[in-house]
Amino acid sequence: MKMYFFPGNLWPKPKNRIRFAKWWLPFCKRYGIKCTAPEAYFSAGEDDGDEDGGFGGSEFVQEKEHMKEKYEVFKKRVTENARIWDIRSNSRRDHSAVVEVIQETSSDDEDATQANEAKNVPLLIYVSREKRLSQPHHFKAGALNVLLCVSRVISNSPYILGLDCDMHCNDASLARQAMCFHLDTKISPSLALVQFPQIFHNISNNDIYNSQLRSTFKVLWKGDDGLGGPCVSGTGYYIKRVSLCGSSISEVVEDYFTGFHLHCKGWISVYNPKRPQFLGSGTTDLDEFLVQGTRWSSGLVDVAISKFSPLIYGPFKTPTFLHSILKLNHLLWLIMNTFVVSNTYFIAFSFIFLSSHSKHLYEVLATGSTFRHWVNEQRIWMMKSVTSHSYGSVDAVMEKLGMREARFFPTNKVDDVKQLKRCNVRFSLKVNLNQIIVNSLRD
């Protein structure tokens, strides 16, 4: 199976990457390394037997140390190039398109010998789409469209792996796992994509911000798997190229819209959650978490008030009525139900209140989390309801009315040691829902 690698915009000095890859990939293949991300592999420790593929001989240890030295040199070069790139960052919003096939050759005898062993390294094509201040570029959706167009001309590969820059491979067999579904004669004609879960390696045990998105990847997506499959989660998916034919993506949240549009055309998807094939960095800062939630809420409301709203578009396009209700449920989670507490309806209100929270607690415990995680999810849900969901909804409406241009705020997921320590601190919010109920009864 021939593979091609298309990195996105503003990826400085790609030749450094391909030079190191010609050493790193043969090393992983020779010793059966499962985690093929060098930073994660070397940070795991020297005694990680699973990641070393069961090898422990002197030859392996020596070659591993040699590879680690080469990685440190490579990382230093990337850091230096990044500083130079930041100085020229004024051209990021206004530049011409660049498509370059990276061919790295070396006159060094050691590198030349290694190049013969690395003949199967994927071909690297650097793509930087054109950007002009006067023209909309549709953010991430526009970048994916350009990558699809370029790859169609160069490789025209039938299957495409979409991966964010903050994710890394945790299982070298993930392509085979995806192809087990795509090449299955029973489901292949209607299968659009294989979605892998998003698992984050930098989340604390308490997860005070619910950054792991437990309800989405451990509850909703597993349920969706039996009803046509989940939507595109934005990263970690193997999608069939032919399923994207005829699509026009211009929404801020391109992942939900793409998945919804594919299901409306009759395609299905598969969720494969057994082993975390990809690991990424989640948000560990409250400001970044709320900004991310605002962007997601704005994108979902943008779809809800468009012509592709599940309220009017889904019931007539999806294969089953239950499937259309399922898509509608992903939008309605933004809305809080308001009850008027009175003596007459207090019993009904109490039953709904207790049953809702009991169901949520059961889901948290059933997915392997603890009671503290349930408390944290309740607290962050209240915070997001009055901040990200509200601001995102207003932002989407203002955009539709022409009062504001579409915006995309990238989330900073760079690990900060001090921030990670603060994130691991345990604390609780004393004001709870019971106090709100008592105050409502007094009124």
Give the pLDDT band (50/70/90) at residue 191.
very high
At residue 249, the 3 state secondary structure works out as: coil
Q: Which residue has the higher pLDDT, 328 or 287?
A: 287
Question: Does pLDDT of 301 surpass 60?
Answer: yes
Residues 6+ apart with CB under 8 A from 181: 187, 188, 191, 194, 270, 272
Q: What is the pTM of this model?
A: 0.73
Q: What is the rounded average pLDDT of the residues 232-249? A: 80
Pairing of strands 167-169, 278-280: antiparallel
> CA dist 276 to 38, 198, 284, Å?
17, 8, 20
Residues 240, 237: Cα–Cα separation, whole Å? 10
The secondary element (H helix, E strand) that includes residue 422 is: helix 417-423
The secondary element (H helix, E strand) that includes residue 240 is: strand 237-240
Q: Which two tokens stand for residue 180?
A: 């087990």
The string of DSSP letters for 344-409 reads TTHHHHHHHHHHHHHHHHHHHHHTT--HHHHHHHHHHHHHHHHTHHHHHHHHHHHHHTTSS-----
Residues 422, 204: Cα–Cα separation, whole Å? 10
Task: Tell whether residue 443 is among the known ligand binding residues.
Answer: no
Residues 6+ apart with CB under 8 A from 288: 411, 412, 413
Percent of the chain with pLDDT over 70: 68
Give the pLDDT band (50/70/90) at residue 150.
confident
Residues 233, 272: Cα–Cα separation, whole Å? 13
Task: Tell whether residue 68 is among the known ligand binding residues.
Answer: no
Structural contact between residues 86 and 4, judged by C-beta atoms closer than 8 angstroms? no
What sections of 106-253 are H helices per DSSP? 109-117, 139-154, 174-182, 214, 221-224
